Structure formats: structure tokens, C-alpha cells
């Protein structure tokens, strides 16, 4: 029964594929290009180049794709993908709000300000030593009667 259902599904997919042509173009040149177009309005194209990033080889790709959404609208996205990540652009994609002017000024100030020494660490070490010494003395005083008792037991 499952085999029969599977065969029916395969026939239906084959029928749909016969109705939906797909055009594909591949380029074997150095631009690593491809493009395709589906009968349903889906399109994609991309080119890529090799790039030296530091001491290693990397790739930079740019391209675009579009598709028809369930609402009947065509959605298009163009992108660049490089060592800094994937950067899509599309009218329907959300955009980050502009950075407030005060934040931009503070970032600029921090970028140009000389580095500051962190002087809190020596103070922190000094504080820890001050706190540690009384605790050690208190511990030794608490241990003294116990140690005396141990010594008495060893004599017997």
C-alpha cells in the first residue's frame, strides 16, 4: 500500500515538473557564475571570485534571487557574501534604525582616545591581602586547641 502511494506521488511530481520548465546556465570560467529560472517565477543568479583574505584564500560572491510569494507579490533580494558575512538587501527586509548621534560621537571619542591604564587591579589585590590575613589568623587560632588535643592523644 505504501509503495502504491509512493508511485502516485512520484508520478504527480513528474507531471508538475513537465509543466514547470527550469532553465539553468552554468559558467566554468573564473567568475564562477550560475543562473536559473523556474517556470514558477523563481530566479537566481550569482557570480563569485577568489580573494586573498590575510594569508588564506577566500571567496566573494554576489548575486540575487527572486520568488513569487503566497500573496502573489514578487520578492527580490540582492546580496554580497564575503569574509564579513552575508549581506542581503531587499525592500521587504527589515532595516536597522539609524544610530543616534550621541552614540556615534561616543564611539568616535573612544576610537581616538588614548588607552587608559587599569589601576583598580593593584588596589583589589591589596584589599584581598588585607582581608585574607585576619582570616588566616582566625583559622589558626581555631585550629590551635584541636592540634593540642591531637598532640596529647599521640603521647598516650
Number of structural domains, the chain? 1
Report which of residues 88 and 51 the model is more confident about: 88
Q: Is the pLDDT of residue 22 over 70?
A: no
Q: What is the pLDDT of residue 40?
A: 80
Structural domain that includes position 62: 3-94
Q: Do the domain assignments include residue 41?
A: yes
Do β-strands 43-53 and 56-68 pair in parallel, antiparallel, or remain unpaired? antiparallel
* Residues 153, 134: Cα–Cα separation, whole Å: 30
pLDDT above 80 for 120 = no
Rounded distance between C-alpha atoms, residue 77 and residue 86, angstroms: 12
Higher pLDDT, 7 or 35: 35
Whether 100 is covered by a domain: the verdict is: no
Note the pLDDT tens digit of each residue in 58-103.
889 999 999 999 899 999 999 999 988 999 999 999 888 999 999 9
Residue 120 included in any domain: no
Residue 64 is predicted with a pLDDT of 95
Instruction: Report the alpha-carbon distance of residue 3 to residue 12 in Å, rounded.
Output: 14
Helix ranges restricted to H, the chain: 2-19, 101-112, 120-155
Q: Evaluate whether residue 43 is within a structural domain.
A: yes
- Which carries the bigger pLDDT value, residue 100 or residue 32? 100
Residue 32 within a domain: yes
Q: Is residue 89 part of a domain?
A: yes
pLDDT tens, position by position, 136-152: 667 677 767 766 666 76
Domain annotation covers residue 101:
no
Predicted TM-score (pTM) of this structure: 0.49
Q: In the prediction, which pLDDT does 56 show?
A: 85
- Calculate the CA 87 to chain-centre distance: 13
Residue 67 belongs to some domain of the structure: yes
Amino acid at each position: 500500500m505504501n509503495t502504491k502511494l509512493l508511485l502516485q506521488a512520484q508520478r504527480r511530481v513528474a507531471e508538475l515538473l513537465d509543466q514547470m520548465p527550469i532553465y539553468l546556465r552554468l559558467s566554468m570560467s573564473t567568475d564562477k557564475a550560475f543562473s536559473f529560472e523556474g517556470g514558477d517565477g523563481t530566479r537566481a543568479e550569482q557570480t563569485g571570485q577568489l580573494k586573498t583574505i590575510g594569508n588564506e584564500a577566500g571567496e566573494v560572491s554576489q548575486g540575487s534571487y527572486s520568488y513569487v510569494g503566497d500573496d502573489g507579490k514578487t520578492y527580490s533580494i540582492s546580496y554580497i557574501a564575503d569574509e564579513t558575512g552575508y549581506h542581503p538587501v531587499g525592500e521587504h527586509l527589515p532595516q536597522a534604525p539609524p544610530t543616534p548621534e550621541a552614540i556615534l560621537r561616543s564611539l568616535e571619542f573612544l576610537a581616538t582616545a588614548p588607552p587608559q591604564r587599569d589601576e583598580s587591579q593593584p588596589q583589589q589585590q591589596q584589599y584581598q591581602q588585607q582581608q585574607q590575613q585576619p582570616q588566616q589568623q582566625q583559622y589558626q587560632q581555631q585550629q590551635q586547641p584541636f592540634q593540642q588535643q591531637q598532640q596529647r592523644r599521640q603521647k598516650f
